[in-house]
Chains A and B, each alone.
Chain A
Amino acid sequence: MKRSRSKIKGTDWFTVILYLLLVTFGWMNILAANIEPNAPVSFDFSTEYTKQLIWIGISFLTIGVIYLIDSKFYAAFAGMFYIITTVMLIMVIFVGVEINAAKAWFEIAGMRFQPIELAKVSTSLMIAHTLSRTQFSFTKLQNILIAFAIIIIPLLITILQNDLGSGLVLLAIVITFFREGLSPFFIIAGIIAIIIFILTMIIPNHLIILALTAAFIIALLFYKQIKSALISLLIIAISYSLVTQVFYNDATEMSNNIGVITGIAAASLFIAARVFLKRQSHLIIYIIMLWGSIGFTYTADYIFEEMLGAYQQNRIMVMIGLKDDPHGAGYNVNQSKIAIGSGGVQGKGFMEGTQTKFDFVPEQTTDFIFCTVGEEWGFIGTSAVIIAFITLLLRLIYLSERQYSSFSRIYGYSVVSILFFHIIVNIGMTIGLAPVIGIPLPFFSYGGSALWGFTILLFIFLKLDTNRAELLR
């Protein structure tokens, strides 16, 4: 008894309670999405909510097992785990069952299990193991390549499984790399290029450029250039107003673009002058990046609007789930928005949703479970869930930062990265802010192996946290 108490001693109960709240609320929504009007709740084994309940039980048991194992074990056997899950990922291509054209599932006794869920854990452990070695440094190209190879290998296998969506999650670990010293230019350039290309298709160019400028201002703030940042903002705002309101006297696409560009040009001149006077040459790189992005925005927009035909444009929009197309491929997103929007402020009440109940929203308990939250619990429910997730992520960052051992810290950041990616993409797609990539909402979505995987991912970290004062590697 004393022994088992020592095992859980130091556990962060705040996180555990958040986890329990999310799992419970998630299950309630799976239940609500499955109950038809006037039909009794039946705990038949075939129903999703019963199956999910069993997986919740399995997850709780697994938490016990995780706590029984010594923290040093996770560091020591990280490489072994990584190899085992990689082999499983390959195996599933040959012996797995096919669901939605993806061969990514093992089926054992009617329970389906996706090895990528475990691969997320093992890859995080492997990254923690690799990056925490004393000789590892993100200044060495070879080390950078090794770090990326660890996340790219499972990713490539998921492509073979035709389940790239699940694999992409691993790319989120780049956030951890950033925390551990990977040059931000490296990451930002790649991310910005992708985001800009997608954004050019959905929002007006001048808004993209304003967003880029906002990033630039934040960068200035980062360098404690508060005065420069504020003056730049002022210059942009005044120039923009002058151009759109005085010169053009209206806000058309044309005047907006010219207004924004004029503002940024004026601000750039101001910064350049400061660079020259105060010899802050590193700022010039940001200006170049900003103008590079602006150029890329217009280029991408030109390519999309002018060089691609309407049909190809449509294909791309639909493929990444951005096309608002009520009955075509954009159907899912539109239905999902309808379901969430119909919830209003307070929601229709538990089990009172109609949109999610009658199969209007596809994959309503797996990828689109957030719709049920939106419909039945309204804005109060959705914002509460988002706040809960954000709180969890921030809590995990806090926990990571308090680790003595860099292994634990890096693993903690990997957990944050993976959860963050899932939350962005899953909730983002249900409200039309992210492309439709079929990945689950952590702790919420129906699908036992996902819940199980996320539980393992989280609780290994909580276990490591109980040994936060020790050196693990």
Chain B
Amino acid sequence: MGSNNRTILIVIAIILVGLIFIGKLFMLQVVDPSYKFSAESNTQRKLTEFAARGLIYDRNKNLVVANQATYDIMIVPREVTPFDSTKFCNLLGIDKKHLDRLFANVEYNIQRRRISTFQPSLFFKQLSAEKHTILQEHLYKFPGFFTRRRTVRKYEYPNAAHILGYVTEVNDAMIERDSYYRAGDYAGISGIENTYEKELRGEKGARYILVDVHGREKGSLRGGRMDSAAIAGKDLTISIDIDLQAYGEKIMQNKTGAIVALEPSSGEILSMVSSPTYDPSLLIGRNRSENFPVLAHDTLSPLLNRATMSSYPPGSTFKVLMALMALEEDVLDPSQRYSCIGAYYAPGVRVSCRPHYNPVNLVSSIANSCNSHFCEIFRNVIDNPKYASPSEGLSKWREYLLSYGLGERPGSDLFNETSGFLPNSYYYDRIYNNVWGSLTVLSLGIGQGEVLTTPLQMANVAATIANRGYYYTPRIIKDIEGVTIPDKFNIRHYSNVDSAHYEPVIEGMEQSILGDFGSTARIAQIPGISVCGKTGTSQNPHGENHSVFIAFAPKEDPEIAIAVFVENAGSGSSVAAPIASLIIEQYLNSEIHYTRRWVEERMLNLNINEKIAESENRVEQE
């Protein structure tokens, strides 16, 4: 091999390298567009300007939910130098172990390439404004750390937790669903915070700045022309009367159950109590991680909104619906007298009744809650000769109930609703192997058996009766700043019962409160207000009966319709009725009449949860 050839080889190698490099550069600089995009995001950092969430007011313009500033501590891992960790812990109000955990977390994320050592990432969430003020003075001692202002919720009242819901950091699934969100954003997870999230969250703004790799600002991009300011969320006014809500929660202390109060003329929810409840402040920011598990594991399920999510047999409150449909079906003559013999007897069936005057007509059988008469009425509806079979009768029965919003989700703007349950003929065909009749399902006529309703549904029934035949879809929203509320809330839903048939039923409901001996809810009498109501005792196979009451007042021009369910509290007249009357009185008169202070006292002091706990202990001891 001659030297000359070798020289040529070397020359070829050099030229080849040159060509390869030029080729690669051609790919990088001319062909491949991806590096241009990368470069954009590299120098032009988009700084998110977080929008303040909309405020929430109650129907009387009391501020219920506000915002407060907190500070996230950000870290640029590469710039962190050894520092006085004891001092740092004190400033943050955490112990050394916690700090070690935070750093372990940062290291883990760096290893997983989830964060960059060059870029700021979240180190410690939601330092209070007070601590931040002190930290700010010392921050220069801790290079690589800086703070970022965020706002979190501030609750002005310890009430209405289930209605308001809570706000927390978005999870991956939410980011996937809605491109608006980025990791670390906050969003309403439940309650009204969730339903009206889009209105409340406002719009994030953005500031485009030129930064170097250390995140140091090097001026704004194109003189700030591309920047957009954050737009604060819209303020909401909710239909809740926060004072009434607080009163309801106070009265439901130590009881398990729910109260729903509606304004019949609009469907606005005046108060919605689910007991036990919790202070919404418990779930703000840092507290949330500590308190949430405690609430979630509580055997009384304080996180459960019983007003919309628990369904109970309506008990005797259901009789008003039976009466209304029987009148519409023309199988009941309101003036016809019926003699109750203390029970309803039929072949193989006995439904006992309570002592009351005899004979009864429609009004007095509602006022006295006569089981016998309503068994008769139920059979007349189901076995109506108009229809070929009990199956068809039951379908008709179901149709009426559906027109009152039972058996389906109310479609309100509350976060979670359950539909309750209305059995149909297929259901009984399956259970009774196609052999059943009105007697088989007789307990339906008095609100027991398979029918399940939620407190919200029954409040809606009360509102429908108050309106003499129609209801509006219940809602919590009263006004959204600059936005009209959805149309669905302005539609009247008429029941299948003619408004003329309501008067005798309302008369019966009034008599159940005003009537003489035998009337069920005399305790609900309020001086100066004509209340119409119906008690119910919801049979509960697991223990003591649930106490139920529905009512509206005043009788003419009703302003409030209410349903009260108190679990394991016994008869409707003993607990639910007095509670409902107190709510009505508080709402209409803003105070409790001195002759009724004892009722208030008794209800406030009643501790059903403790009684049940005691009786359960007793059972265990035995």
Which A residues are within 8 Å of any B CB, using their own CB? 36-38, 175, 178-181, 184, 218, 222, 325-328, 331, 335, 337-345, 354-355, 357-360, 362, 374, 378-379, 382-383, 386-387, 389-390, 393-394, 397, 401, 416, 420, 423-424, 427-428, 431-433
Contact = CB atoms under 8 A, between A and B. Distances in A.
Contacts of B35: 337-338, 340-342
A358 B218 contact: yes
Contacts of A390: 14-15, 17-18
B29 A343 contact: yes
A343 B32 CA distance: 11
A222 B13 CA distance: 13
11 contacts: A335-B42, A337-B35, A341-B28, A354-B39, A359-B212, A382-B25, A386-B25, A393-B14, A394-B11, A416-B10, A428-B21
A328 B113 contact: yes
A283 to B, nearest CB: 14
Contact of B1 (A184, A337, A362): A184
Interface string B19-37: 0111011101110101110
A197 to B, nearest CB: 19
B205 to A, nearest CB: 23
| Residue of B24, B32, B119, B211 contacting most chain A CB atoms (<10 Å) | B24
Contact of B43 (A355, A383, A386): A355
B36 A341 contact: yes
Interface of A is mostly: helix
B3 A379 contact: no
Interface in B307-348: none
| Residue of A326, A331, A345, A355 contacting most chain B CB atoms (<10 Å) | A355
Interface in B23-78: 24-26, 28-30, 32, 34-36, 38-39, 42-43
Given A341-B29, A342-B36, A397 B24 contact: no
Nearest to A374: B29
A359 B214 contact: yes
A401 B8 CA distance: 11
Q: Considering the complex of A and B, which 5 residue pairs feature the smallest CB-CB distances, nearest first?
A: A341-B35, A358-B212, A342-B39, A327-B116, A390-B18
B117 A374 contact: no
B219 A394 contact: no
B113 A397 contact: no
A345 B29 CA distance: 6
Nearest to B2: A181
Contact of B117 (A218, A325, A327, A393): A327
A344 B40 CA distance: 13
Given A427-B21, A431-B24, A355 B42 contact: yes
Contacts of A378: 29
| Residue of A37, A38, A393, A416 contacting most chain B CB atoms (<10 Å) | A393
A360 B116 CA distance: 13
A358 B17 CA distance: 31
Contacts of A184: 1, 6
A382 to B, nearest CB: 5
Contact of B218 (A36, A340, A420): A36
B7 A401 contact: yes
Contacts of B32: 341
B29 A179 contact: no
A354 B29 contact: no
Interface in B386-425: none
Given A184-B1, A344-B30, A397-B7, A359 B219 contact: no
B213 interface: yes
Interface in B215-242: 218-219
B219 A397 contact: no
B130 to A, nearest CB: 35
Given A38-B219, A184-B1, A338-B42, A386 B116 contact: no
Contacts of A358: 43, 210-213, 218
B294 interface: no
Contacts of A341: 28-29, 32, 34-36, 38-39
B25 A355 contact: no
A380 B22 CA distance: 10
B25 A431 contact: yes
A179 B14 contact: no
| Residue of B32, B35, B113, B212 contacting most chain A CB atoms (<10 Å) | B35
Contacts of B28: 337, 340-341, 374, 431
A341 B24 CA distance: 10
A108 to B, nearest CB: 30
A446 B212 CA distance: 20
A338 B29 CA distance: 9
Contacts, number: 134
A394 B7 CA distance: 10
B5 interface: yes
B39 A355 contact: yes
Nearest to B115: A327
Contacts of A382: 22, 25, 29
A276 to B, nearest CB: 24
Nearest to B14: A393
B118 interface: yes
Contacts of B36: 341-342, 344
Contacts of B18: 386-387, 389-390
B485 interface: no
B94 interface: no
A424 B17 CA distance: 7
Contacts of A389: 18
| Residue of B28, B34, B118 contacting most chain A CB atoms (<10 Å) | B28
Nearest to A419: B14
A375 to B, nearest CB: 8
Nearest to B119: A327
Contacts of B26: 379, 383
Interface string B343-356: 00000000000000
B529 interface: no
A259 to B, nearest CB: 24
Given A358-B213, A358-B218, A386 B113 contact: no
A208 B388 CA distance: 86
Interface in B103-151: 110, 113, 115-119
Contacts of A343: 29
Contacts of B80: none
B43 A340 contact: no
Contacts of B218: 36-37, 358
Contacts of A38: 219
A338 B38 contact: yes
A443 to B, nearest CB: 16
Contacts of B5: 222
Contacts of B500: none
Contacts of B116: 326-327
Contacts of B119: 327
A379 B115 CA distance: 32
Given A37-B218, A335-B213, A387-B18, 16 more contacts: A37-B210, A37-B219, A38-B219, A184-B6, A325-B113, A327-B117, A340-B29, A341-B35, A342-B35, A344-B36, A354-B210, A359-B212, A359-B214, A360-B43, A383-B26, A433-B21
Given A222-B5, A338-B38, A359-B214, A344 B10 contact: no
Contacts of B118: 327, 331
A420 B43 contact: no
Contacts of A393: 14
A178 B10 contact: yes
B300 interface: no
A87 B119 CA distance: 44
A394 B14 contact: yes
A282 B110 CA distance: 56
| Residue of B14, B20, B36 contacting most chain A CB atoms (<10 Å) | B14
Contacts of A424: 17
A382 B14 CA distance: 17
A179 B25 contact: no
A38 B10 CA distance: 47
B216 to A, nearest CB: 8
B9 interface: yes
